[in-house]
Amino acid sequence: MGIYVHIPFCASFCTYCGFYSEVCRHQPAHSAYIEALKREIALRKDFFCSSGPVRTLYFGGGTPSLLAPELMADICDALRAGFDLSQLEEFTVEVNPEDVVSAGGDAMLEGFKKLGVNRISMGVQSFCDQHLRFMNRRHTAASAVDAFKKLRAAGFGNISIDLIFGFAGLTDAEWRSTLGQAVALGPEHISAYQMSLDPNSALADMAAAGKYAEPADESCAAQYAMLQECLERHGWHQYEISNFAREGFHSRHNSAYWTRRPYLGLGAAAHSFDGDALRSWNPASIEEYMKAPGVPEGSETLSASDIFNEQVMLGLRTVRGVERKTIEAAPYVKGRPLSETAAGMVAEGLLEESGSCYRIPRSRLFVCDSIIERLFTD
Ligand code: SF4
């Protein structure tokens, strides 16, 4: 079981981002939000019933590294009072490089250590200043490198960095150079995402106004292949469409999402899942959230068909794949057993058998969505 805590504050907005967050560095506003979060924690302490201790904790955003260390400590005290964290295996905090190298960076990292944070996820996105400016990131390539070294010096032995490819203006040579810099730093984990037009992002507005055009699919596919080849060659194993890790350093928290284990999402816009069929979500507005923390804005009960489709989609996005028995137990689709469809897809080279699973060959992971939807039931 995992807990996700959403910190919906940023110092500025990144061009491509559609996550719910507000531009706010005002500490009284942060404190008021944390008070609401603590009320939600107290109200939802029975979310996991008696299913056992929490294994992973993840602070994401927004920008958790904007919070003052005492506010982070406050949240952790409340979490410890509400949940059994005695067997926590992974405690991740997302950070912005600029916050790590800022004047308050040392105190922040010291605070993280005291709280038991054992994994840092840092949004680097690129090691090219021109691209960082286009993305409206706060940091430079040099400050990202400095931040990484500072994290290491502070004793963090499990660091993940995020990178972005597949945007207009990124040449193959520049992408290769960013990958080379990532490899040289040697983080334990690398997540790499293709830039997309999130409807809530400034980039989508730019595209609608004719000021941005996405690169061709073939160019994005070529950069994805470069990513796979480069990281595999240097010892990072791909375990999901966007995620690569050194042996033993896969993200336990995110892996729980992909295997449909229960998680509790706390804070504005956070989603929760009971591990079976019930999902709920908090309002994507700090103002609305603070009116009634702990009262989800909505919920849905997944049908048997929704659950099956989710198992297939999440499973096939991982390198392990989806259990063959899951496909074999599925109902007929359009008058045909789904296992026959899957066997046909193996013959076409869209799926391969691996142990007890079907999986998508690595060379086809870039187009996995079109493959996965052929196995959806109605
Ligand atoms: S990418 Fe991160 S830092 Fe940038 S706007 Fe989105 S949440 Fe904020």
Residue nearest to atom 2 of ligand 1 (CA): 62
Pocket of ligand 1 (CB under 6 A): 10, 13-14, 17, 19, 21, 61-63, 96, 123
Q: How far is the CA of 175 from the centre of ligand 1 (A)?
A: 21
Q: In a mutational test of the pocket of ligand 1, which residue from 4, 7, 16, 19 has the highest number of ligand atoms less than 8 Å from its CB? A: 19
The alpha-helical segments, DSSP class H, found in the chain are 27-43, 69-82, 97-101, 105-115, 129-134, 141-153, 172-185, 202-208, 217-233, 252-258, 286-291, 304-316, 324-328, 338-348, 368-372
Taking the whole predicted model, whether its pTM rises above 0.85 is answered as: yes
Q: In a mutational test of the pocket of ligand 1, which residue from 21, 23, 66 has the highest number of ligand atoms less than 8 Å from its CB? A: 21
Q: Give the single-character DSSP code of 66.
A: G
Residue nearest to atom 7 of ligand 1 (CA): 62
Residue 165 · residue 224 · CB < 8 Å? yes
pLDDT (0 to 100) of residue 333? 72
pLDDT (0 to 100) of residue 378? 74
Q: How far is the CA of 17 from the centre of ligand 1 (A)?
A: 6
Which residue(s) pair with 278 in the sheet?
301
Dmax over Cα atoms in the chain, in whole Å? Answer: 65
- Of the CA atoms within 13 Å of residue 264, those in its CB half-sphere come to 25
Residue 100 · residue 108 · CB < 8 Å? yes
Tens of each residue's pLDDT in the chain, 378 residues: 999 999 999 999 999 999 999 999 999 999 999 999 999 999 999 888 766 899 999 999 999 999 999 999 999 999 999 999 999 999 999 999 999 999 999 999 999 999 999 999 999 999 999 999 999 999 999 999 999 999 999 999 999 999 999 999 999 999 999 999 999 999 999 999 999 999 999 999 999 999 999 999 999 999 999 999 999 999 999 999 999 999 999 999 999 999 999 999 999 999 999 999 999 999 999 999 999 999 999 999 999 999 999 999 999 999 999 999 999 888 777 678 889 999 999 999 999 999 999 999 999 999 999 999 999 987
pLDDT (0 to 100) of residue 50? 66
User: Which ligand 1 atom is at minimum distance from the Cα of 61?
Assistant: 7
Q: How far is the CA of 203 from the centre of ligand 1 (A)?
A: 13
Residue nearest to atom 6 of ligand 1 (CA): 17
Residue nearest to atom 5 of ligand 1 (CA): 13
List CB contacts of 137: < 8 A, sequence separation 6 or more: 14, 123, 125, 126
Q: How far is the CA of 26 from the centre of ligand 1 (A)?
A: 17
Q: How far is the CA of 252 from the centre of ligand 1 (A)?
A: 22
Helix (H, G, I), strand (E, B) or coil at 122: strand
Q: In a mutational test of the pocket of ligand 1, which residue from 22, 63, 131 has the highest number of ligand atoms less than 8 Å from its CB? A: 63
Q: How far is the CA of 10 from the centre of ligand 1 (A)?
A: 6
Taken in order of first residue, the domains within the chain and their CATH numbers are: 2-257 (3.80.30.20), 303-378 (no CATH)
Q: How far is the CA of 19 from the centre of ligand 1 (A)?
A: 7
Closest CA to 268 of 106, 37, 59: 37
Q: How do residues 114-158 score in pLDDT, each as one tens digit?
A: 999 999 999 999 999 999 999 999 999 999 999 999 999 999 999
Number of H helices, E strands in the chain: 15, 17
Q: How far is the CA of 230 from the centre of ligand 1 (A)?
A: 27
Q: How far is the CA of 8 from the centre of ligand 1 (A)?
A: 9
Q: How do residues 102-121 score in pLDDT, each as one tens digit?
A: 999 999 999 999 999 999 99
Cα 24 to Cα 10: distance, rounded to the nearest angstrom: 6
Closest CA to 229 of 161, 180, 168: 180
Closest CA to 15 of 253, 198, 217, 162: 198
Cα 261 to Cα 140: distance, rounded to the nearest angstrom: 37
Q: In a mutational test of the pocket of ligand 1, which residue from 6, 14, 65, 93 has the highest number of ligand atoms less than 8 Å from its CB? A: 14
**Per-residue CA distances from 260 to 140, 203, 240, 275 (Å):** 37, 31, 15, 6
Checking phi first, is residue 141 left (phi over 0); if not, alpha (psi -120 to 50) or beta? alpha
Cα 221 to Cα 231: distance, rounded to the nearest angstrom: 16
User: Which ligand 1 atom is at minimum distance from the Cα of 13?
Assistant: 5
Q: How far is the CA of 13 from the centre of ligand 1 (A)?
A: 6
User: Which ligand 1 atom is at minimum distance from the Cα of 94?
Assistant: 2
